[in-house]
Amino acid sequence: KSKAALKSSLKDEGMRKPRGKQPVDSIIPKKATKPIISAKTPIIEKAKPKSKAENKPIPPKPVIDSLVEVSSDPPGLSPDRMVGSKNLHKLVAVGCSTGGPRALKVLLEKIPADFPAPFVIVQHMPPNFTKSLAQRLNTFSPLEVLEAEQGMILRKGAAYIAPGGYHLQVTPTSKGQYAVVLTKEEARNGHRPSVDVLFESLLPLTSLDRHVLLMTGMGSDGARMMKSLYDSGVTSTFAESEETCVVYGMPRSAVELQCVKYVLPLQEIAPRLVQAVK
């Protein structure tokens, strides 16, 4: 090519603009605006050249530590997130999937602000959507609803939503409180977060009055560990009845295992739960 033609070609290439990115504006993913990177997807970054002395293999650092006792205030959390309930004697754990956001709204908007226990919730949802879900539910509920963070201390009058992509477990601390532990362990029942993982973490917490609830959702996640809790003498077990479920899967599995004390339509769960916990 001539110099003039080459210059014109380069100019045309320089004027091409990359496409812009669409913002995520919904808490329920109908169509993802960009691919969600899973824990198995390698992320490649350009590293600065190192000297021979520095060029030593570095062991991989885990994204989040596995289940351990939380004995001190973890870094990165504001003081108000570390103020928990030292005399916590009760806890409610909830699992849901398809139809869950609406069911959680109906449930949490009927729970009073002085409720004497925290809610710990697993809603099957991918990363980046659970934070928006928590913020939206917070506008409807008398409770403080927030996305759970590593090391948060559970307190009465609050509800903690498991972040998408992480299992949520509850563990005792050396200060006599109960803390959130998030892990990147393998998906269970095809899910991360998994309801079974949350419920299983409650098995050793026998000093707590534990109330567990399964609401609308496909599959059987949560049913097996609800059965284990029931057999170990958990305080109460609830399941949403078929008449109000969007998908009667998870509750049905628990009912078939004969480990549900209360099977109720959605609008009746909150009043009965308040009565059971108080």
pLDDT digits (tens, 9 = 90+) for 2-47: 545 544 544 444 444 444 444 434 455 544 444 443 444 444 344 4
Whether residue 124 lies in the annotated active site:
yes
Question: Does the reported pTM lie above 0.75?
Answer: no
- Average pLDDT value for residue range 184-204: 98
The pLDDT value recorded for residue 84 is 54
Active site residue 221: yes
**Which residues, at least 6 apart from 83, have a Cβ–Cβ distance to it below 8 Å?**
153, 155
Q: Assess whether pLDDT exceeds 70 at residue 92.
A: yes
pLDDT digits (tens, 9 = 90+) for 157-179: 999 999 999 999 999 999 999 99
Q: For residues 215-231, give the mean pLDDT.
A: 99
- Looking at the domain 79-277, which fold is it? Rossmann fold (3.40.50)
Catalytic residue among 85, 97, 236, 241: 97
Q: What is the Cα–Cα distance from 41 to 228, expressed in whole angstroms? A: 34
> Rounded to 10 degrees, what is the CA torsion of 218, 195, 92, 237?
60
Question: Is pLDDT larger for residue 206 or for residue 21?
Answer: 206
Q: Which candidate in 85, 141, 196, 221 is catalytic?
A: 221
Q: What is the mean pLDDT of the chain?
A: 81
Burial class for 100, CB neighbours closer than 10 Å (0-12, 13-18, 19+): buried
Which DSSP letter does residue 82 get?
Answer: G
Tokens 């170990």 belong to which residue? 232
What confidence score (pLDDT) does residue 27 get? 52
Domain boundaries, the chain: 79-277
Using one digit for the tens of pLDDT, what is the confidence trace for 101-158?
999 999 999 999 999 999 999 999 999 999 999 999 999 999 999 999 999 999 999 9
pLDDT at 54: 46
What size, in residues, is the chain? 278
Q: Which amino acid is at 148?
A: A
157: left (phi over 0), alpha (psi -120 to 50) or beta: left
Start-to-end Cα distance in the chain: 84
pLDDT recorded at residue 85: 55
Is residue 141 among the annotated active site residues? no
Q: By C-alpha distance, which of 117, 154, 155, 141 is closest to 276?
A: 117
Question: CA 90 to CA 170: how far, in whole Å?
Answer: 13
Q: What is the pLDDT of residues 226-274, one digit of tens each?
A: 999 999 999 999 999 999 999 999 999 999 999 999 999 999 999 999 9
Rounded CA separation 155/153 (Å) = 6
> What's the pLDDT tens digit per position in 59-86?
433 333 333 344 334 434 444 444 555 6
β-sheet bridge partners, residue 122: 95
d(CA 262, CA 36): 38
